[in-house]
Structure 1
Amino acid sequence: MQSPIFAYTEVQNQDHYSLQNSYMLRVRLDGNTGPDCLARKGSMVAYEGMVEFDAEYQTRNQRRARRATGEGLDLMRCSGQGTVYLANLAQQIHIVDVDHDGLTVDSAYVLALDSGLHWDVVAVDTQFGLSGTGKYNLVISGQGKVALMTSGKPLMMPVTPQTYVSCDSDAVVAWSTPLRVQMQAQTSSSSVFRRRGNTGEGWELNFVGEGYALVQPSEQMPPQNADLHGLRGQFGGRPSGGGSAWGG
């Protein structure tokens, strides 16, 4: 049997996390020396070796936060000796090294993270006390790697004290935790519940400080909680009606 498809062979390296291609993450596990991998439930597409998959325990605070905000991670622990391949509906994957500054991210875009990292739910500042408008996210802290997903090639926007950056809240994937963030709709509170006039734009996140904001070329979870006919769950979002962070 012959075909150009045989060119798509396994990436050969010793890295803990590496990209098999733009849409598939390769995780090399060595239970004796490296950390386990906490992966999005159902994201395993293949594996080699003696690898075990178990549901990851959530602390009481994490379960309580998930019920109250809709924000959280449904994870499985990948452990043992071998190689695991992870993917989610051919979304593009990006490996991020988390350091002491931390990373704030929408849980819908997390594919995997090192088991040594810690995550908590935090509220994004908003000038209006509205529920279900994207005001909760995850802060991932510690030292290790996180694999993020985006729909299409993202834009990494640097934020400095001299640069004022605003992004559509539906397109923002993650940002540096030390940044000061405020959610903002229109200047008039009477217009909060609709998009800006006839522009089609709604909530913004404004970033101030020193760091980065990651934006994807897609607005998959509108803050108006529109019915996406099942696509929300398919593309990594949470089901509607759960008081979620981004329009759920």
Structure 2
Amino acid sequence: MQSPLFAFTEQQSQDRYTLQNAQMLRVTLTGHDDILARKGAMVAYQGLVEFDGEYQSHQQQARAWTGEGLDLMRCSGQGSVYFANLAQYVHVLDVEQDGLTVDSSYVLAMDSSLHAEVLAVDSQFGISGSGKYQLNITGRGKIALMTSGPPLMLQVTPEKYVNADADAIVAWSTSLRVQMQAQTHSSGVWRRRGSTGEGWELSFLGSGFALVQPSELLPPQNAATGGLAGQFGMGQQGARGQNQGNVWS
């Protein structure tokens, strides 16, 4: 059998996390280093690998259902597991002492040694109904994030702060100070982006980085059943449908 498809061969590497292409990740398991991954993100595997639902309390289950948390599965054993999610671009980061804050919608997989805590970005600012929840990732290990298209990594310094659209920001250094504000002063702010085409934004101050994707739509989670709206992360079947209280829904 001959075909140009045979040019898309497995990328050989001794690294634990290896990108097979821009949209697929391989993680190697050696029997004592479990991986936590987004449920349903496994597209193939080799070896003796087990997949189990990660235990969640009732509170954690409720948070995952409303978009405030992350529904995970635990992958263990010996072999290689290939992960992907709706052809999103995949990026591997090393989490170190400073920590990482990330929108849970963009997490593909991470080392089980990392700790994730739900964080309400807007709570300290008292913005009623905005409901913007993130994951604060601490510890040491690797995490694989997804973006809609190639992202932009912006450096934040005390002399140069960064503003980002709340729908386009993917992750940032936990050490940064974050402020949420509306990019309009009109009464239409409570509508989707008001009349300016812009809505809520996050301002990052301090020293660190902010990762922005070239899209203001969350990755669709149920594209097959959500029709056109679901394919673009909107409506009851899209990722936004899980958090209807958001002012940017």
Say yes or no: TM over 0.5: yes
Distance 1:239 1:204 in 2: 17
Partner Cα distance (1:51, 1:117) in 2? 20
Q: What is aligned with 1:30?
A: 30
Query: How far did 1:38 drift?
Result: 0.7
Deviation at 1:150, TM superposition (A): 0.3
1:8 to partner: Cα distance: 1.3
Q: Is 1:3 the counterpart of 2:29 in the alignment? A: no
Contact 2:153/2:211, CA 8 A, preserved across alignment: yes
- Residues 187-241 of structure 1: per-residue CA shift (max 9 Å, x gap): 63744313566430111100000000000000105xxxxx97223279x963515
Q: Distance in 2 between matches of 1:142 and 1:102?
A: 7
Residues 40-87 of structure 1 show CA distances to partners (whole Å, capped at 9, x for unaligned) of: 1111111101111111112465346446x6311111111101000000
Q: Deviations over 1:143-188 (max 9, x none)?
A: 0000000010000000000002100000000000010001100463
CA contact (8 A) 1:28 1:82 kept: yes
CA distance in 2, matches of 1:241, 1:3: 42
Q: What secondary structure, in the 3-state scheme, does the structure 1 residue paired with 2:2 have? A: coil
Contact 1:39 1:111 in 2 (8 A): yes
Contact 1:91–1:150 at 8 Å: present in 2 too? yes
Higher relative contact order by CA 8 Å / sep ≥ 6: 1 or 2?
Answer: 1
CA contact (8 A) 1:40 1:74 kept: yes
Query: How is 1:162-241 mapped onto 2 (pairs within 5 angstroms)?
Result: 162-186=159-183, 188=185, 190-194=187-191, 198-221=195-218, 229-231=229-231, 232=233, 238=239, 240=241
3-state SS of the aligned residue for 2:167? Answer: coil
Identity across the alignment (%): 63
Long gaps (5+) in structure 1? 222-226
Cα distance in 1 for residues equivalent to 2:145 and 2:247? 17
TM-score by length of 2: 0.86
Aligned partner of 1:10: which letter? E
1:42 aligns with 2:43: no
Amino acid at match of 2:164: C
Query: Does structure 1 retain, via aligned residues, the 8 Å contact 2:184–2:196?
Result: no
**TM-fit CA distance, 1:245:** 6.7
Count of aligned residue pairs for this structure pair: 238
Letter in 2 for 1:2: Q
Distance in 2 between the 1:162 and 1:176 partners? 16
1:89 aligns with 2:90: no
1:71 maps to which residue? 68
TM-score, normalising length from structure 1?
0.86
Please say if 1:55 is aligned against 2:49.
no
